[in-house]
Structure 1
Amino acid sequence: MTDFVTAETAIRQLHARCIDIVWRKDAKAFAECFAEDGEWKIAGQHMRGRAEIEALFAKLLGLCEHVMTSVSSPILEVGDGSAIGRTYVTEDAKLANGATAHTIGVYHEKFVETAEGWKFASRHWSLKYRGPADFTGDFYDTPDYGPFPGRPADDEPTTTKKAGSV
């Protein structure tokens, strides 16, 4: 069994590296945070493998001048060389067109210990809010998976339906 404290520390460092990578808009480094066959589901997209992840990251962050990400301490369940987690995330972005956006969501994550260290095996983004920091923007109807370790099914797509929309 993998030591919980060692795994948690490594996973927190993985998140910290991602915060730095997003700020620097380094698509290659972002993709390298994933296992070779890692998956990333965000904004209705489902990428498989580092090449697809790198390409989408470059496209998404190309729309932004800067993005500052903050993550909560992940809730984790650690197994032998793997873990599942739930991490709450906020982002403040200045878009290339000068607009700003405040985003709140949850990453449902799977982690795997590799020869390169801990990596994301999969990340499923559940968008909860996007708009001004005063919460006058749009809230989104994304599933509530109940208490941890509740999570989306592996084949479940991300959703981006605004609250109250049909």
Structure 2
Amino acid sequence: MRDFQAIADRFEIEALRGEFTDAAMMHDYDRLASLFTEDGVVRIPAINAETAGREGIRAGAERLQGQWNYFVQITHAGTIQLEGDTAVGRAYISELGQLRDGSSHQNYAIYHDRYRRTADGWKFAERVYEIRYVDSTPLLGSAPQTAGATAKENTPTTK
């Protein structure tokens, strides 16, 4: 990897994947939608869900997140194959949460991604969420009372 542009592209794509997880966990649906191209698509075959376009992605994320009492997603390093102004990759995901109906889920999954370079940097053109493992055993922990607080309220301050 001697090409500095390739290094910068990989770094930006990795940051894009981190921004996605942060936006989802912070319930920042506008930011989450902005991470996609105008014609971007999200597919979740396990629940036969597909949303397209930024508005559809925003609405779909808000609808899905609205079903959870609490939700935690962690993105692990994956792969990136650059192809000029496009790229493909995979990101490995671990999640846990409790739905409003009281059921619990611990998932291990893969995002199969297509990326596109835009005037605003790298964006998702497509994310396909493939579940590899689900454990619906009730989770023993719970979210602390501050879980619904805004990110600013949960951010430590220094004096």
Q: Shorter-normalised TM-score: what interval? A: 0.7 to 0.9
Identity, % of aligned positions: 25
SS in 1 for 2:11: helix
Bigger radius of gyration: 2
Letter in 2 for 1:5: I
User: Using the alignment, how far apart are the partners of 1:66 and 1:28 within structure 2?
Assistant: 20
Work out which of the residue numbers 64, 69, 78 in structure 2 matches 1:65.
Answer: 69
Aligned residues between the structures: 134
User: Using the alignment, how far apart are the partners of 1:96 and 1:12 within structure 2?
Assistant: 32
Instruction: State the match for 1:25 in structure 2.
Output: 27
Structure 2 unaligned regions, length at least 5: 139-159
Contact 1:23/1:66 (<8 A) preserved:
no
C-alpha RMSD over aligned residues: 2.0
Letter in 2 for 1:74: G
Contact 2:103/2:136 (<8 A) preserved:
no
SS in 2 for 1:88: strand
User: Using the alignment, how far apart are the partners of 1:115 and 1:65 within structure 2?
Assistant: 37
Contact 1:2/1:79 (<8 A) preserved:
no
Which structure is higher in helix share?
A: 2
1:10 aligns with 2:9: no
SS in 2 for 1:74: strand
Letter in 2 for 1:91: E
Letter in 2 for 1:31: A
Contact 1:2/1:78 (<8 A) preserved:
no
**TM-score, L = length of structure 2:** 0.76
Q: Deviations over 1:96-136 (max 9, x none)?
A: 344431111111100011112111000111111222479xx
User: Using the alignment, how far apart are the partners of 1:14 and 1:133 within structure 2?
Assistant: 32
Q: How far did residue 3 of structure 1 move?
A: 2.4
